[in-house]
Chains A and B, each alone.
Chain A
Amino acid sequence: MSVETAPPSTGNWFSRLAHPGQFMVWSGKFVWPLAILTTIVFGFGLWFSLFASPEDYQMGDTVRIMYVHVPNAWLSQAVYGLMAVSALGTLVWRHPMADVSMKAAAPLGAVFTALALYTGSLWGRPTWGTFWEWDGRMTSTLVMLLIYLGIIALWRAFDDQLRAARIVAVFTLVGAINVPIVKFSVDWWGGLHQPSSVLRSGGVSIAPAMLTALLTMVVAFTLLFITLQLVRMRSEVRNRRIAGLKARAARSVR
């Protein structure tokens, strides 16, 4: 028996999507086109952000950090959103691919969040004069990273991944309810300690060329996430199938 098996394609589109075998069939066709598309959009995005956009009149060339910082920050939130939706899929419909999607997304979200913090501190050094400030937005992003890492640790603590999925789903949803509270409290806290802080929200009115570059980079990073997510989901399906085959082989040995 091979690792790849295509099941009969019966049922409606939703149940076909739910079947890991069917998923492997249709997602396989998407991986390479998506990877190529991502590369092309990244090419455009980099050209826009490095050459075709002006310097900031105050920050100079350092403004170009924004074109990698903002997409990462956006993905750090969006990936958690995807995980929360997948968690609902796991708990409500017991959708097998929702488990896989949740597990695949966690490390990606953690990496994007860490990159957002890293690029943010690289940007903060020349413009604000400090790598780290206990400012509301930075602190809540840091807490977000810790939640991602906690979820990854929880995944790794279980042997039985099917049971792990449902428990992680409960925790992911609790975290999703709590994330706005954390953000709100941290903003309030930062506001108390340092009024008129370094983060000027909307202080820079953005030039059209900059906006083009920024949006292209956001699309590029989002495509990168989708591609990586598909690849990770495919490896996870294969891993589970291999684990199943090993268990069966172990049982059949007398």
Chain B
Amino acid sequence: MSGFVALIGRDLRLAWRSGSDALTLVLFFVMVGVIVPFAVGPDPVLLKTLAPGIVWIAAFLAMLLGLDRLFRDDFDDGTLMAMQHAEAPLALLIAAKVIAHWLLSALPLLIASPVLAMLLAMDVSTFLRTVLSLLLGTPALTALGTIGGAVTVSLRRGGLIAPVLILPLAVPVLIFGVSAIAPAMSVNSATTALLLLGALSLFLLVLAPFAAALALTVSED
């Protein structure tokens, strides 16, 4: 268990010391939100309807972009192999990496979401529900990303193929995430969507470490 906490700390320290990956991700997230008004026109009513979808797509793309660094560095310098022969089970170590990755790639987006809310003319209650839905939904995206990253880690061209694999599987996350904030929804169905989103996140968080551990083990020998 100490290894579990130590690994989270290590990943966070590495990210902190090696520079501004998280900032770049946030910048990308905000930029996607910024270019949409240019593409569809700056009509506030239209933007207000589109806002939940735009925020989710921006978060989705930003998380896909950060997916490659989840295992890549550890694979290149051999840390991953050391983890496979560690005393702690590989699935547990991967669970630690999932948590660290969520803190590094999803939490910054949550913190930056007020900027997008302002640009896209969201009102306060919609914004709060957006933050809540991102909070509940991003763990599912991180979990799916972990599977994608583990499956493609031994490929040099893995950076492109992992998003292609993950995208169709992430459709439910998008559907429930947007249903939870779409303005047309009644409070009741929005709550249902939020609950389903949370259930999906929990399910995928349990599944992902084992699936990723299996993928890493079989790709080694």
Contact = CB atoms under 8 A, between A and B. Distances in A.
B102 to A, nearest CB: 19
Contacts, number: 77
A170 B169 contact: no
B169 A175 contact: yes
Interface in A140-162: 143-144, 146-147, 149-151, 153-154, 157-158
Contacts of B165: 150-151, 153-154, 171
Contact of A177 (B167, B196, B207): B207
Interface in B151-165: 151-152, 154-155, 157-158, 161, 164-165
A185 B176 contact: yes
Contacts of A163: 154, 218-219
24 contacts: A143-B168, A143-B171, A147-B169, A150-B164, A150-B165, A153-B164, A154-B151, A154-B152, A154-B165, A157-B155, A163-B219, A166-B218, A167-B151, A167-B215, A167-B219, A174-B147, A174-B207, A175-B169, A178-B169, A181-B172, A185-B171, A185-B176, A186-B172, A188-B175
A91 B168 contact: no
Contacts of A182: 168-169, 171-172
Contact of B214 (A91, A147, A154, A185): A91
Interface string B161-199: 100110111011001100100000000010000001000
B155 A185 contact: no
Given A146-B168, A150-B164, A170 B215 contact: yes
A47 interface: no
A96 to B, nearest CB: 15
A149 B161 CA distance: 11
Given A171-B147, A186-B171, 10 more contacts: A143-B168, A146-B168, A149-B164, A150-B165, A153-B161, A154-B152, A170-B151, A173-B211, A182-B168, A188-B175
Contact of A174 (B164, B211, B219): B211
B211 A146 contact: no
Interface residues of B, number: 27
Nearest to A147: B168
B132 interface: no
Given A174-B169, A177-B207, A178-B169, A154 B161 contact: yes
B103 interface: no
B215 A171 contact: yes
A158 to B, nearest CB: 7
Contact of B219 (A146, A166, A178, A189): A166
Given A143-B168, A146-B167, A181-B200, A170 B161 contact: no
Contacts of B171: 143, 182, 185-186
Nearest to A142: B168
The 7 A-B pairs with the shortest beta carbon distances in the complex, nearest first, are: A185-B172, A166-B218, A146-B168, A170-B215, A150-B165, A189-B175, A143-B168
Interface of B: 147, 151-152, 154-155, 157-158, 161, 164-165, 167-169, 171-172, 175-176, 179, 189, 196, 200, 207, 211, 214-215, 218-219
Contacts of B152: 154, 157
Contacts of B179: 189, 192
A interface bracket (residues with beta carbon within 8 Å of B)? 20 to 34
A19 B197 CA distance: 46
B218 A167 contact: yes
Contacts of A173: 211
Nearest to A158: B155
A170 B200 CA distance: 20
Contacts of B219: 163, 166-167
Nearest to B156: A157
A169 B165 CA distance: 13
Interface centre among A174, A177, A185, A186 (most CB of B within 10 A): A174
Contacts of A178: 169
Nearest to B153: A167
Contacts of B172: 181-182, 184-186
B151 A171 contact: yes
Given A150-B164, A154-B161, A185 B215 contact: no
B218 to A, nearest CB: 4
Interface string A96-109: 00000000000000
